[in-house]
Chain A
Amino acid sequence: MPKPKSAYSVAGRKEKLDTHIIVVWVDNEAGVLARVVGLFSGRGYNIESLAVAEIDQKLNISRITIVTTGTPQVVDQIKLQLKKLVPVHKVADFKREDKNVIFKEMALFKFVGTNGKIDKAINACKKYNAVILDTTNRSKVVQITALRREIDKMANNLKKYGLISISRTGAVAMTRGEKVFK
């Protein structure tokens, strides 16, 4: 007799997970974010990061950028399920490796300590478009924009220079060149 296996849980073979950036254009109305996020949690999809803001005040359109991981089948389902939501206008999907798409996250770092230490930290931040937003005798707040992994690395490395507080956004994405996603 063959060894009984599950009829209803997933097949034994595990497929590779890819990271995708899903961009959703929605009507900016009450509850729309809950619909999108609820779809992810209700169907067991994963959200790594989320960024949302209105991009067109006249047409009342918000753009939601979601970083997610899943098998190709799951990512397809995510797109198709999103498209079924009534306030959703269009859905774009980019692989993280896609060279034609720019991904950026922003982070705010607060450093507290001696000037020497903080200056070292600012130096390290420079390659990520560092902007100093606030300065006191013993502290600085710095804004950087970079990729997720780069910010992760910075956050780790700068602790020794007095990094005591981090605030960061989810990723936002835009295609390179003239083309616009329709």
Chain B
Amino acid sequence: MPKLFSGAEIVFKCLEDQDVSHIFGYPGGAVLPIYDELKNHNSVKHILVRHEQGAGHAAEGYARSTGKPGVVLVTSGPGATNVVTALTDAYMDSVPLVCISGQVPTHLIGTDAFQECDTTGITRPCTKHNWLVKDINDLAEVMHKAFEVATTGRPGPVLVDIPKDIQFQKTLYKKFKRKSKSNGASHNNFSQDNIDELVHLMSKATKPIFYTGGGVINSGPKASELLRELVYTTGFPITTTLQGLGSFPGDDNQFLGMLGMHGTYEANNAMYECDLMINIGARFDDRITGKIDEFSPKSKKVHIDIDPSSINKNVKVDLAIVGDVKSVITSTLKTLKKSKANFIKSNKQKTSKWWEKIQKWRSKRSLDYIGSEETIKPQYAIERLYELTKDKDTFITTEVGQHQMWAAQHYKFNKPNRWMTSGGLGTMGYGLPAAVGVQIAHPQKLVIDIAGEASVLMTMQEMSTAVQYSLPIKIFILNNEYMGMVRQWQELLHDKNYSESYTAALPDFVQMAEAYGCVGIRAKTPEELDDKIIEMLNTDRPVIFDCLVDKQENCFPMIPSGKPHNQMILGPKDKKENKITGKGRTLV
């Protein structure tokens, strides 16, 4: 008679067949059979977090830095509700996650049993799909389908809810046959005509720009390579979104920096003035577009995206190309080389005036700030961190707020999958657990969480995880004692009424580090900053770095609410007072 496997065994069989090497989780009553089975499967290593939200973000960090799906294992009730923030975060930022949750036994579902909640109901709006497995014979198929849904098309989170009795029941397990890798090809829905039209538009444009996003990174490292080839072949300028950083070298001359609310002056003005905008794997998010009816008024817009529902959602486009970024760029390059072999030569003259204009915008040096000898400017701290780590293959995660924007502006990324940040949902507390996940995936690499003191306190407990697994993550806190971005908005919009944005009674982060069993370092002056950073880099243990920075510094440049791209505030050096008034105040 063929061997029968329990539900818990089948869960692991499936994980093994999906080549899962790490899962992030937290045990509890309704998943105990799965935890009991863990000892029999050496190829799957479990990372015990301190809070289920941490498990979710760690899995996100793991997924984003590897391109593989992150796997989370939580119990029913509070275990599942705690992971909702991470699932929503992954949904907004298109991160492939597979979350397995325990559920009360099937006969107790609906009775308000202990630690019961309607997990599939709660997570329906924040997953691509979810399943409640009520029949043991469905389990294997559902598990494999879950991985398929999470990783194909536009990636995202899924959840499989498994009642405890199903984990005990037994059935047959059929060996999983992997479908030949589709590489997103099955989601391609474009024709050669689309590509021809794109090439035609490119050859006509005098003021073109590439606007690229996280879709390039999600399409795999090859897509980033191809993007570089496309940008160099065309000679067009390129700007990337927050999530697109790293898909194109940050120190390249054709790169205009990040665009959007805290993007560079040159990137935003180029978006406003361009006559051809080629959006590759970005989604016209409101942080990017600013005022939508004055968004890039003179341009033809091309949108390349794997998700058809992203097209014409916020901005109407002239040419939509639905497909995997890698496939679309491959076709475009092929057509370009065949039909316009001398593209770059013929094009250089056409775009030379455009580049002159861009240089003029660049000369504004919009990321400049007023330096200081006495206090550490947060921008300076990031600059020094970058200079001292740029020769290493460094992975950066962030929390959410001013420090995140400064990191995006001043840290230059040259490779994809090196930058993990919560963009869509803007989850404070994302960076520390994400760093845990990244370090698990890349044990030999340098992983730094650029953090704010307010954000990092939201998931600080995961330092304990880092210590348990000897993960030498570096928590680089830009400590200004304020929720900096909240304070900045209050300064600009609410007459400097700093309502509840100051954190009194902050912990002593150095002592806190010691309490967790890791290393605490504090930098107070610009003079000592370099030495302290080097000390941090030379420490082969988890470090909490308390960098005391200027408390008043604001993050500039900035597109104020209610304004289009060409009306930026340029920071303290900018003379024009570009006050936010009226309706713009009600917006976030």
Contact B584 A7 (CB under 8 A): yes
Q: Taking the complex as formed, is A86 at the interface, i.e. its CB lies under 8 A from any CB of chain B?
A: yes
Which residue of A has the minimal Cβ distance to B153? Answer: A84
Whether A5 and B583, one on each chain, are in contact in the complex, defined by CB atoms closer than 8 angstroms, is yes
Task: Determine whether A12 belongs to the interface, using a CB cutoff of 8 Å to chain B.
Answer: yes
For the complex, is A3 an interface residue (Cβ under 8 Å from B)?
yes
Name the CB-closest residue of A to B581. A4
Q: Does A73 contact B (CB under 8 A)?
A: yes
A7→B561 contact, CB < 8 A? yes
Do A4 and B286 touch (CB < 8 A)? no
Count A/B pairs, Cβ under 8 Å.
Answer: 72
1/0 per position for B113-139, CB-CB distance to A under 8 A?
000000011001100110010000000
Find A30's partner among B128, B132, B286 (CB 8 Å cutoff). Answer: B132
Cα distance A72–B582 when bound, in Å?
31
Contact assessment for B309 and A11 in the assembled complex, using a CB-CB cutoff below 8 Å: no
**B129→A73 contact, CB < 8 A:** no
Chain B residues near A83: list those with CB within 8 A.
Answer: 308-309
Of the listed stretches A31-39, A61-69, A122-130, A132-140, name the one at the interface; the rest are far from the partner chain.
Answer: A31-39
The verdict on B312 contacting chain A, using a C-beta distance below 8 Å, is yes
B 259-293 contacts with A by CB, 8 A: 286, 289-293
CA A6 to CA B293, docked complex, whole Å: 10
Judged by a CB distance under 8 angstroms, whether A42 is at the interface is yes
Considering only residues 515-566 of chain B, those with a C-beta below 8 Å from chain A are 559, 561-564
Q: Is B312 within 8 A of A5, CB to CB? A: no
Q: Are B309 and A84 in contact (CB under 8 A)?
A: yes
Q: Cβ of A4 and Cβ of B124 under 8 Å apart?
A: no
Most chain B beta-carbon neighbours within 10 Å: one of A11, A35, A84: A84
**Complex contacts, B307 vs chain A, CB 8 Å:** 84
Given A34-B124, A81-B309: A3 touches B286 (CB 8 Å cut-off): no
Q: Which residue of A lies closest to B311 (CB)?
A: A80
CB of B271, distance to nearest CB on chain A (Å): 14
Residues of A within 8 A of B584 (CB): 4-7
The interface centre, meaning the residue of A6, A9, A30 with most chain B CB atoms within 10 A of its CB, is: A6
Known: A4-B581, A8-B587, A80-B308. A38 touches B124 (CB 8 A): yes
Tell me, in angstroms, the Cα distance from A84 to B291 when the chains sit together: 28
Instruction: List the B side residues contacting A4 at CB < 8 Å.
Output: 562-563, 580-584
A88 CB → nearest B CB, Å? 11
Indicate if B316 sits at the interface (CB-CB under 8 A): yes
For residue B129, which residues in chain A have a CB less than 8 angstroms away from its CB?
85-86
Across the interface, do B293 and A11 meet the contact criterion of CB distance under 8 Å? Answer: yes
Q: Which B289-310 residues have C-beta < 8 A from chain A?
A: 289-293, 307-309
Contact with B along A1-32 (1 / 0, CB 8 A): 00111111101110000000000000000110
User: What CA separation (Å) do A31 and B311 show in the bound complex?
Assistant: 28
Q: Tell me the nearest residue of chain B to A35, going by C-beta.
A: B124
Would you call A150 an interface residue if the criterion is a C-beta within 8 Å of the partner chain's C-beta atoms? Answer: no
- Assembled-state Cα–Cα distance A85/B130 (Å): 11
Nearest chain A CB to B218's CB is how many angstroms away? 16
Q: Which residues of A contact B289 (CB under 8 A)?
A: 7
Chain A interface: which size bin?
Answer: 20 to 34
Is chain A's binding surface mostly helix, strand, loop or mixed?
loop
Partner of B316, one of A3, A73, A77: A73
Indicate if the CB atoms of A8 and B309 lie closer than 8 Å. Answer: no
State which of B121, B293, B562 has its C-beta within 8 Å of the C-beta of A12. Answer: B293
Distance of A140 from chain B, by nearest CB (Å)? 41
Whether the Cβ atoms of A13 and B293 lie closer than 8 Å is yes
Bound Cα distance from A153 to B96, whole angstroms: 52
B317 to chain A, nearest CB (A): 12
Name the CB-closest residue of A to B314: A73
Partner of A7, one of B121, B128, B291, B313: B291
User: Which residues in A have their C-beta under 8 angstroms from that of B23?
Assistant: none
Q: Among B121, B559, B582, point to the contact of A34 (Cβ < 8 A).
A: B121
Given contacts A6-B562, A84-B309, contact A31 B292 (CB under 8 A): no
**A48 at interface (Cβ–Cβ under 8 A)?**
no
Contact of B582 among A3, A12, A31 (CB under 8 A): A3
User: What residues of A have a CB within 8 angstroms of the CB of B290 in the complex?
Assistant: 7
Cβ-closest chain A residue relative to B120: A31
| Any A CB within 8 A of the CB of B149 | yes
Contact of B587 with A9 in the complex, beta carbons under 8 Å:
yes
Kindly list 18 other residue pairs between chains A and B, CB separation below 8 angstroms, not including A4-B580, A8-B587, A31-B132. Answer: A4-B563, A6-B587, A7-B286, A7-B561, A7-B562, A7-B564, A7-B584, A8-B286, A8-B292, A8-B588, A9-B587, A11-B292, A30-B132, A34-B121, A38-B124, A73-B312, A77-B309, A86-B129
Please provide the 8 A-B residue pairs with the shortest distance between their CB atoms, ordered closest to farther. A80-B309, A4-B562, A86-B129, A11-B293, A7-B291, A4-B584, A4-B582, A8-B286
List residues of A whose CB falls within 8 A of some B CB. 3-9, 11-13, 30-31, 34-35, 38, 42, 73, 76-77, 80-81, 83-86
In the complex, 30 of the A-B residue pairs with CB atoms within 8 angstroms, ordered by the A residue number, are A3-B582, A4-B581, A4-B584, A5-B293, A6-B583, A7-B289, A7-B291, A7-B559, A7-B561, A7-B563, A7-B587, A8-B286, A8-B292, A8-B561, A8-B587, A8-B588, A11-B292, A12-B293, A13-B293, A31-B121, A31-B132, A34-B124, A35-B124, A77-B312, A80-B309, A83-B309, A84-B128, A84-B307, A85-B129, A86-B129
